[in-house]
């Protein structure tokens, strides 16, 4: 009898690895579109001008004169473009201020006052620039409120009325360089619609009307307004998810055959 001992040692064969597929993101990646767009705005309010002072010469003397102006209506229409936090616009404005009377003062002829039932009209064409200051809430969201500042330059035409006295100048108009500065507060009612309140100063350079040399015109103004953007509501675009990444199969592992050992 031949003793026979057979022992088999079997090592486990490594399990083949399945290809790994990168998991697609569960949340859509969103990128906000640019917040630049054209807009139109309208604002109406009240203006509070200083008296409009000037002077003219008569035989043997110089006469100082002043138009006593009341507060009155003022408004502005504008077309502009929003560049994220900055804005640029072209605006046409109008103001109407009552003239109570006109005073005259001369060292030689004394002083007197002429009544008036007319009004001064002011027309402006301005190029304005504004900067909006965004406010961030505690939770990181953007506030609906946004303060802003602005300034502008352009052209102003002033038309003054005739006076009732024969000695008063006959009235007329003059044009000159105009400038303004504004501060305001906007409230975002919709994606592209904003209501705002604004105050500021408007001035224009001196001019001559019917041989009367007037100085600068100055007025404080307050407005309520609406600004409406165009081009559709701001939308978020969804970035395409990357294609699944397939990792290559691992190199095959060597398989150890069962070893047979015999004892004879």
Residues 74-107 have pLDDT tens digits of 999 999 999 989 999 999 999 999 988 888 888 8
Is residue 245 assigned to a domain?
Answer: no
The separation between the first and the last C-alpha atoms of the chain, rounded to the nearest angstrom, is: 10
Confidence of residue 31 (pLDDT cuts 50, 70, 90): very low
pLDDT of residue 57: 86
Domain count, the chain: 1
95 vs 160, more confident: 95
Is residue 52 assigned to a domain?
Answer: yes
Confidence of residue 32 (pLDDT cuts 50, 70, 90): very low
Is residue 19 assigned to a domain?
Answer: no
* Beta pairing partners, 46: 73, 222
pLDDT at 212 over 60: yes
Instruction: Report CA-CA distances (Å) from 165 to 12, 41, 86, 168, 171.
Output: 121, 42, 51, 5, 12
- Total-model pTM: 0.72
Residue 41: closest CA among 81, 99, 97: 81
Whichever domain contains 186, its CATH number is 2.40.160.20
213 vs 178, more confident: 178
Residue with tokens 């993101």, as numbered in its chain: 25
Query: Is residue 99 within 8 Å of residue 72, measured between CB atoms?
Result: no
Is residue 104 assigned to a domain?
Answer: yes
- Domain housing 164: 31-233
Is residue 24 assigned to a domain?
Answer: no
180 vs 19, more confident: 180
Confidence of residue 109 (pLDDT cuts 50, 70, 90): confident
Other beta carbons less than 10 A from residue 193's beta carbon: 14
Quick one: DSSP state of residue 108? Answer: T
Q: Tokens in use for 46?
A: 């009240």
Is residue 185 assigned to a domain?
Answer: yes
Q: What confidence tens digit (pLDDT) does each residue in 214-252 have? A: 999 999 999 999 999 998 545 444 444 455 565 666 666
Is residue 9 assigned to a domain?
Answer: no
Is residue 6 assigned to a domain?
Answer: no
Q: How far apart are CA 135 and CA 248, in angstroms?
A: 50
pLDDT at 28 over 80: no
Average pLDDT, the chain: 81
């Amino acid at each position: 009898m031949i003793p026979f001992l057979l022992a088999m040692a079997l090592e486990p064969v490594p399990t083949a690895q399945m290809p790994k597929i990168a998991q697609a993101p569960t949340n859509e990646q969103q990128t906000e579109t640019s917040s630049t767009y054209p807009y139109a705005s309208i604002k109406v309010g009240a203006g509070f001008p200083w008296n409009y002072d000037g002077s003219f010469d008569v035989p043997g003397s110089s006469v100082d004169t002043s138009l006593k102006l009341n507060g009155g209506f003022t408004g502005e229409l504008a077309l502009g473009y929003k560049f994220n936090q900055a804005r640029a616009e072209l605006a046409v404005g109008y103001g109407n201020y009552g003239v109570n009377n006109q005073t005259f003062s001369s060292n030689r002829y004394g002083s007197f006052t002429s009544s008036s039932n007319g009004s001064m009209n002011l027309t402006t064409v301005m190029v304005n620039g504004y900067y909006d200051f965004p406010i961030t809430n505690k939770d990181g969201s953007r506030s609906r409120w946004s303060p802003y500042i602005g300034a502008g330059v352009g052209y102003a035409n002033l038309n003054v009325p005739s006076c009732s006295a024969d000695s008063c100048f006959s009235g007329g108009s003059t044009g000159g360089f105009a400038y303004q500065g504004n501060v305001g507060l906007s409230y975002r009612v919709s994606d592209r619609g904003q209501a705002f309140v604004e105050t500021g100063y408007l001035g224009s350079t001196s001019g001559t009307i019917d041989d009367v040399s007037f100085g600068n015109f100055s007025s404080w103004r307050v407005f309520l307004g609406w600004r409406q953007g165009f081009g559709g509501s701001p939308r978020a675009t969804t970035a395409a998810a990357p294609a699944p990444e397939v990792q290559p199969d691992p190199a095959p592992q060597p398989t150890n055959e069962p070893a047979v050992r015999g004892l004879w």
